[in-house]
Amino acid sequence: MVKWRTSGTKSLAANTNFPRSLRDGLKGGLTQWNRSGSGLKYAAPTYTSGWQIYAFRASYTYSNLMGPAPGYAATQRSGSSHNGGTLYLNNRFTWVNGSQNISARKADVQTVVVHEVGHFTGLAHPWPGHCTDGTAYTDAEKKSVMTTINTGTRRSLNSDDVRGVTTLY
Ligand SMILES: [Zn+2]
């Protein structure tokens, strides 16, 4: 996977048209990673009007990169690292800040964001494949935010996720 070029605090920007109902979950999915004790931190998101020129930004739209997934992490990769990219949340889903049901097209903001921010962090799924494919192998992997996002609601890091981020940073 592609990790951040440097550790430190990463700041995500979103346009002021980013839905207000999703902002708590966006913040929660970012700052959840700060509980790991690693050298990588995520600031609370900022909202600005106008064209999004920021290196690390969130967009509430559909990108054909994401296929049927509710979220997608598009890193601006250079070699084995990146310095930002776009976090897409699929506006074809109904978004909630609570229990999700992806097969019914109902997505929890924090579950999806904490997973996609895990990809920006440099963590892969416990198996190869898309964000909504596959089967987790171990109990820890099943509880990881990096396991498949269509099998339940997971808003908090588990031991597997903490081990991953503290190994990388
Ligand atoms: Zn994924």
- Tens of pLDDT, residue by residue over 44-53, are 999 999 777 7
pLDDT (0 to 100) of residue 28: 97
Question: What end-to-end distance do the CA atoms of the chain give, in Å?
Answer: 14
What is the 152 CA–ligand 1 centroid distance (Å)? Answer: 14
Among the listed residues 72, 42, 75, 68, the one whose alpha carbon sits nearest the alpha carbon of residue 59: 72
What percent of the chain has pLDDT above 70?
93
pLDDT tens per residue, range 74-93? 999 999 999 999 999 999 99
Q: Do the bridges between strand 46-48 and strand 13-15 make them parallel or antiparallel, or are there none, so unpaired?
A: parallel
Within 10 angstroms of residue 86's Cβ, the number of other Cβ atoms is: 21
Pick the range with the lowest mean pLDDT from 26-30, 47-51, 95-99.
Answer: 47-51
What is the 7 CA–ligand 1 centroid distance (Å)? Answer: 21
pLDDT tens per residue, range 124-140? 887 666 666 556 567 78
What is the 20 CA–ligand 1 centroid distance (Å)? Answer: 24
pLDDT (0 to 100) of residue 143: 86
Bin 87: left if φ > 0, else alpha if -120 < ψ < 50, else beta. beta
- Sorted by where each starts, the structural domains of the chain and their CATH numbers stand as 3-168 (3.40.390.10)
**What is the pTM for the complete model shown?**
0.92
Distance CA 156, CA 167 (A): 18
pLDDT (0 to 100) of residue 88: 97
What is the 133 CA–ligand 1 centroid distance (Å)? Answer: 9
pLDDT (0 to 100) of residue 135: 63
Q: What is the CA radius of gyration of the chain?
A: 15
Is the pLDDT score of 54 beyond 90? Answer: no
What is the 8 CA–ligand 1 centroid distance (Å)? Answer: 23
What's the mean per-residue pLDDT of the chain?
91
Among the listed residues 120, 115, 122, 108, the one whose alpha carbon sits nearest the alpha carbon of residue 148: 115
Under 8 Å between Cβ of 34 and 169 = no
pLDDT (0 to 100) of residue 167: 95
Pick the range with the lowest mean pLDDT from 22-36, 50-64, 92-106.
Answer: 50-64
